[in-house]
Amino acid sequence: MADAARTTYLLVDGENIDATLGTSILGRRPRPEERPRWERLLQFARDQWDQPAQGLFFLAANSELPMTFVQALLAIGYRPIPLSGAPGQKVVDIAIQRTLTELRTREADVVLVSNDGDFVEEVGELLDGRRVGLVGFVEFRNHAFNQLVELGLETFDLEYDVMAFNERLPRVRVIAIDEFDPAQFL
């Protein structure tokens, strides 16, 4: 049974997931119905380690705040973190890196939602006995995370493990023969 006082912090790099989905999977801007159901991700984080989860959703808001999206995130239990900075500054990456570093000082577990290799060092430093997870698209995950799996990093696929989408995505991935279902291709 999980310690009731322990929390999982769910850090969402929404830009990275959206860019991967649009550019690498769909080849176009995703329609609203093709985007992840973010509430499922938050519930997955709670269920995975049987403890409360605090969702932090990082977004670049240099020109204006996307109020409709912010309100939707608040309604499903996330804490939106809109950020701004100098032109060309990767404000979401900087904020997530700082948050991962700060979490080293807290008794908490962490799930990062991103495929971005910019976080490998900070995620590695969190593998000190706490539970640490990475959610993204396995075929687009930065390969530097693979070495962290041996140190205890748990990895999850946003579509196949979290089941965050209403429709199947047109992905091409390596399929373990034990998972192969020909009906999915016929």
Q: Domain total for the chain?
A: 1
57 lies in a domain?
yes
Query: pLDDT exceeding 90 applies to what percent of the chain?
Result: 78
1 lies in a domain?
no
- Residue 140 pLDDT greater than 70, yes or no: yes
Q: Are 123 and 132 in contact (CB under 8 A)?
A: yes
76 lies in a domain?
yes
3 lies in a domain?
no
Q: For residue 2, name the pLDDT band (cuts at 50, 70, 90).
A: very low
pLDDT at 3: 46
Q: Which domain holds residue 38?
A: 8-184
Q: For residue 77, name the pLDDT band (cuts at 50, 70, 90).
A: very high
CATH of the domain at 157: 3.40.50.1010
Q: Are 110 and 6 in contact (CB under 8 A)?
A: no
The model carries a pTM of 0.90
Distance CA 140, CA 125 (A): 22
2 lies in a domain?
no
Around Cβ 99, how many Cβ atoms within 10 Å? 18
Kindly report, residue by residue over 102-115, the tens digit of the pLDDT. Answer: 999 999 999 999 99
Kindly report, residue by residue over 14-23, the tens digit of the pLDDT. Answer: 999 999 999 9
102 lies in a domain?
yes
